């Protein structure tokens, strides 16, 4: 297999009874890449990621994560993979520092617990019992436990759900730091701006299928998509036209109007438009 | 592998040595004990229950059971056995579903921690709390109700192996039964009736031989009856063995049944234990 690939998936399938959660996914994630799986709730994001993490068994397909089949994980492989699950597993009676220090003992090359507490922004809460943390702080603890072992590959399942905007920005900075240091990152999200801000490539998943994989600005051929030019006619109605050459169209309109075109706008589809079209088709 | 920090910031790379397997188990045990002691309900109900019971029983039945032997001498055996079952079977059967439901177990599975270390942590916690609780129980009974402690090394040895075997069986069964509970809340609903019924039919609250014969026979299928019987051989005079259903304390059979339950418990643990909840696939 290709050494440059952190993850390679072919024909992945998983059903729960009659409910097909993952219906044939092919996916490659390169080493050092930040890859976002974007999709609505129930699209198959978590099932896919938890198969890659070694939590769930697949029904069919070939999967390789850091050169190992996650269905047969060993301790060495586990020490190279960091996992931030969707649900938080709380340790009610322990403090933040106690939990992080304890987990650092499981890894052969763990990071310094104090440093990790600092990095995730929990320095002021190190001595607090975990049940006193807010939702966002609990999520930071999850992230701390995910990175304490200095993973080569970090999975983050909807990491910023419940964050306020400022906390999300801080979290994004942390992810960028990790990526800059060479960590491969796979995150699931249903926030478009998060995928756009962080990911080198985005995979849109809907109905258990990977609808498209592309750089965020190329998703749905966004750059090449037809522009919509609209303007107001003298009668007061709004006219619009789709054009591959909007500049020429605007020049033509300007000539026809003898100068200023009333109510002129030129737009291209936003990431949200493209995304909603994609998941709409998949349904 | 590179360090997970900004390339611009110079950092001293501290290469932490991972503790050896034994040290990992001890750390896990220490963590479990800390969690137990900080949870007030666990401490009050698990450790306090047998002590409250002996206070009540020894106060109600202050007389003699016969032959100059105090009732306390009889009931202490049931209270010790109940205490050991509470700290192992009941404690694990109630707490493991809560931890599973919260995703704590799932989180451990995602680390390179060897699976057995987690179980070892639970066992260390059960043994430590069990010893502390039994010692407290004996101290209360000696101080307030003139309990006579075993007088020979042989009796202390019997005490030790009956307790150890009983706790092992109950620990394994507690881990096994934890998988029956589907949610965090159902753990105590599954475990509490089982242990309460066993306490009533195994001679914890009554003199065992006063119970109906069929009840004695049902109780003889489960570990608690044999733990009580083994402990009676420690705290009652040798002559009392004749009053047991089998005509003696039957220590061989005590070892056999408890050993069998260890095997049954272990097999159930190995075949049914779940790190995640059902809805987690």
CATH assignment at residue A141: 3.40.50.300
Interatomic CA distance for residues A170 and A160, integer angstroms = 10
Domain membership of residue A49 (yes or no) is yes
Candidates B211, B203, B210, B259; CA nearest to B232 is B203
Beta-carbon pairs below 8 A across chains A and B: 108
Domain boundaries defined on chain B? 23-273
Tell me what pLDDT residue A282 has: 58
pLDDT over 80 at A137, yes or no: yes
Q: What is the mean pLDDT of residues B161-181?
A: 94
pLDDT band at B243; cut points 50, 70, 90: confident
Q: What is the pLDDT of residue B65?
A: 81
Q: Each residue of B246-269: pLDDT tens digit?
A: 888 999 999 999 999 999 999 999
Residue for token pair 């044999």? B226
Share of chain A above pLDDT 90, in %: 58
* Longest CA span, chain B: 84
Query: Is the domain of A81 the same as that of A161?
Result: yes
A150 with B3: Cβ contact below 8 A: yes
Is the Cβ of A158 closer than 8 Å to some Cβ of chain B? Answer: no
Nearest to B267 by CA among B172, B152, B134, B189: B172
A201/A152 same-domain check: yes
* pLDDT (mean) for A185-191: 92
- In chain B, which residue's Cα lies nearest the Cα of A15? B281
Chain A residues close to B276, C-beta within 8 Å: 55
Contacts of A149 in chain B (CB under 8 A): 111-112
Same domain, A186 and A213: yes
Domain tally for chain A? 2
Reported confidence tier of residue B83, pLDDT bands at 50, 70, 90: very high
Contact B104 A112 (CB under 8 A): no
The CA distance from A187 to A120, in Å, is: 17
What is residue A62's predicted lDDT score, i.e. its pLDDT? 95
Predicted pLDDT at B26: 95
Residue of B nearest to A76 (CA): B112
> Is there a contact between A88 and B103 if contact means CB atoms under 8 Å apart?
yes
pLDDT exceeds 60 at position B12: no
Question: Is the pLDDT assigned to residue B2 strictly greater than 50?
Answer: no
Residue of A nearest to B35 (CA): A93
Chain A, 223 to 242: residues with Cβ < 8 Å from chain B are none
| pLDDT mean across residues, chain B | 87
Q: Which residue of A has its CA nearest to B18?
A: A108
- Do A177 and A243 have their domain in common? no
Q: B35: closest CA among B116, B124, B156?
A: B124
Domain match, A125 and A236 both = no
Interface of B with A (CB under 8 A): 1-7, 11, 14-16, 18-19, 24, 27, 31, 34-35, 38-39, 99, 102-107, 109-114, 276, 280-281
Measured between CA atoms, how close is B3 to chain A, in angstroms?
Answer: 7
In chain A, residues with a C-beta closer than 8 Å to the C-beta of B16 are 104, 107, 109-112
What percent of chain B shows pLDDT beyond 70?
92
Nearest Cα of chain B lies from the Cα of A40 at a distance, in angstroms, of: 19
> Out of A98-102, A199-203, A277-281, B218-222, which region has the weakest mean confidence (pLDDT)?
A277-281
Backbone torsions φ then ψ of A162, nearest 5 degrees: 90, 0
A278, part of any domain:
no
Q: Which of A47, A90, A152 sits opposite B102 (nearest CB)?
A: A90
- Nearest CA among B230, B172, B185, B227 for reference residue B94: B185
Q: Which pLDDT value is given to residue A277?
A: 81
A6-25 residues touching B, CB cutoff 8 A:
16
Cα angle A98, B84, B107 (rounded to 5 degrees) comes to 30
pLDDT band for B3, please (50, 70, 90 cuts): very low
Residues A209 and A97 reside in one and the same domain? yes
Q: Are residues A145 and A259 in the same domain?
A: no
Q: Does A108 touch chain B (CB under 8 A)?
A: yes
With contact defined as beta carbons under 8 Å apart, do B96 and B173 qualify?
no
- The answer to the question of residue A83 being in a domain is yes
Per-residue confidence (pLDDT) for residue A283, from 0 to 100: 54
Structure tokens at B229: 């019987």
- The pLDDT, as a whole number, for residue B187 is 86
In angstroms, the CA B6 to CA A123 distance is 19
- The DSSP secondary-structure symbol of B46 reads I
Mean pLDDT of chain A: 90
- Please name the member of A47, A85, A181 whose beta carbon is closest to the beta carbon of B5: A181
- Residue of chain B nearest A149, judged by CA positions: B111
Query: What is the spatial distance between Cα A76 and Cα A54, in angstroms, rounded to a whole number?
Result: 13
DSSP annotation string for A205-241? EETTEEEEEE-GGGGGGTTTSPEEEEEE-TTS-EEEE
Chain A interface mutation, best of B14, B16, B104, highest count of A Cβ atoms under 10 Å: B16
Residues 114-153 of A with CB under 8 A from B: 115, 145, 147, 149-150, 152
Residue A259: pLDDT over 80: yes
Query: How far away is chain B from the Cα of A83, in angstroms, using its nearest Cα?
Result: 7
Q: How many Cβ atoms are within 10 Å of A143's Cβ, its own excluded?
A: 25
Q: Is A75 on the interface with B (CB under 8 A)?
A: yes
User: In chain B, what residues touch A78 (CB-CB under 8 Å)?
Assistant: 110-112
Whether residue A14 is found in the same domain as residue A113 = yes
Which residues from chain A sit within 8 angstroms of residue B103, using beta carbons? 85, 87-90
Task: Give the contacts of B191 (CB within 8 A, at least 6 positions apart).
Answer: B89, B90, B93, B94, B174, B177, B181
Q: How far is A57 from chain B, CA to nearest CA, in Å? A: 8
Tallying the residues shown for chain A, one arrives at: 283
Whole-number Å distance between alpha carbons of B171 and B262: 9
pLDDT of residue A34: 96
Does residue B11 carry a pLDDT above 60?
A: no
Q: Does A85 touch chain B (CB under 8 A)?
A: yes
Q: Do residues A123 and A33 share a domain?
A: yes
Give the helix/strand (H/E) hosting B97. helix B91-102
Q: Show the domain range for A238.
A: 227-267
Interface probe for A, chosen from B1, B2, B3, B4 (most Cβ of A below 10 Å), is B4
Res. A243: pLDDT tops 60: yes
Q: Quick check: B35 and A178 CB within 8 A? A: no
Q: How confident is the model at residue A2 (pLDDT cuts 50, 70, 90)?
A: low
Is residue A155 domain-shared with residue A84, that is, in the same domain?
Answer: yes
Q: Contacts of residue A152 in chain B, CB cutoff 8 Å?
A: 1
Confidence grade of residue A1 (pLDDT, cut at 50, 70, 90): very low
Same domain, A99 and A168: yes
Nearest CB neighbour to A109, from listed B11, B15, B99: B15
Do A82 and A169 lie in one domain? The reply is yes
- Asked, for residue A242, whether it belongs to a domain, the answer is yes
């Amino acid at each position: 297999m290709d050494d440059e690939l952190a993850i390679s998936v072919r024909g992945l399938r998983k059903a729960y009874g009659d409910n097909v959660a993952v219906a044939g996914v092919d996916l490659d994630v390169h080493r050092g890449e930040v890859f976002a799986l974007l999709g609505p709730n129930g699209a198959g994001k978590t099932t896919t990621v938890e198969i890659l993490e070694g939590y769930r068994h697949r029904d069919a397909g070939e999967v390789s994560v850091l050169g190992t089949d996650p269905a047969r994980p060993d301790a060495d492989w586990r020490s190279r993979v960091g996992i931030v699950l969707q649900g938080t597993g709380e340790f009610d009676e322990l403090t933040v520092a106690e939990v992080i220090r304890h987990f650092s003992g499981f890894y052969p090359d763990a990071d310094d617990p104090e440093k990790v507490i600092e990095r995730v922004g929990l320095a002021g809460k190190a001595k607090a019992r975990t049940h006193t943390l807010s939702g966002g702080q609990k999520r930071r603890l999850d992230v701390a436990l995910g990175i304490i072992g200095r993973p080569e590959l970090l999975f983050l399942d909807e990491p910023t759900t419940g964050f306020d905007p400022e906390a999300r920005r801080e979290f994004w900075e942390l992810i960028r730091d990790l990526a800059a240091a060479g960590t491969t990152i796979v995150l699931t999200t249903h926030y478009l701006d998060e995928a756009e801000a962080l990911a080198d490539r985005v995979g849109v998943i809907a109905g258990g299928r990977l609808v498209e994989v592309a750089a965020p600005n190329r998703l749905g051929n966004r750059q090449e998509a037809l522009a919509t030019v609209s303007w107001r006619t003298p009668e007061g109605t709004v006219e619009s036209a789709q054009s591959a050459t909007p500049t020429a169209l605007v020049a033509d309109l300007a000539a026809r109007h003898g100068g200023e075109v009333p109510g002129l706008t030129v737009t291209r589809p936003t990431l949200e438009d493209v995304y909603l079209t994609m998941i709409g088709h998949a349904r | 592998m590179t360090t997970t920090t900004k390339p611009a910031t110079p950092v001293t790379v501290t290469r932490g040595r991972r503790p050896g397997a034994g040290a990992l188990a001890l750390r896990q045990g220490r963590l479990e004990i800390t969690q137990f002691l900080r949870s007030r309900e666990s401490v009050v109900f698990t450790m306090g229950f047998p002590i409250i019971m002996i206070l009540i029983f020894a106060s109600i039945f202050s007389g003699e059971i016969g032959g100059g032997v105090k009732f306390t001498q009889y009931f202490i055996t049931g209270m010790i056995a109940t205490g050991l079952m509470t700290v192992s079977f009941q404690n694990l059967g109630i707490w493991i579903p809560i931890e599973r439901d919260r995703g704590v177990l799932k989180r451990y599975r995602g680390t390179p921690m060897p699976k057995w270390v987690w179980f070892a942590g639970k066992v260390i916690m059960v043994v430590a709390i069990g010893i502390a609780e039994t010692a407290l129980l004996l101290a209360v009974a000696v101080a307030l109700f003139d309990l006579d402690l075993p007088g020979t090394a042989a009796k202390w040895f019997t005490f030790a192996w009956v307790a150890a075997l009983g706790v092992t069986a109950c620990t394994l069964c507690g881990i096994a039964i934890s998988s029956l509970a589907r949610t965090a809340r159902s753990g105590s609903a599954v475990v509490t009736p089982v242990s309460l019924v066993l306490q009533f039919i195994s001679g914890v609250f009554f003199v065992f031989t006063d119970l109906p014969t069929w009840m004695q026979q049902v109780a003889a299928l489960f570990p608690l009856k044999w733990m009580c019987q083994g402990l009676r051989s420690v705290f009652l005079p040798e002559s009392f063995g004749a009053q047991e259903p089998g005509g003696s304390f039957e220590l061989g059979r005590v070892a056999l049944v408890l050993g069998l339950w260890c095997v049954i418990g272990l097999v159930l643990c190995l075949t049914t234990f779940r790190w995640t909840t059902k809805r987690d696939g």
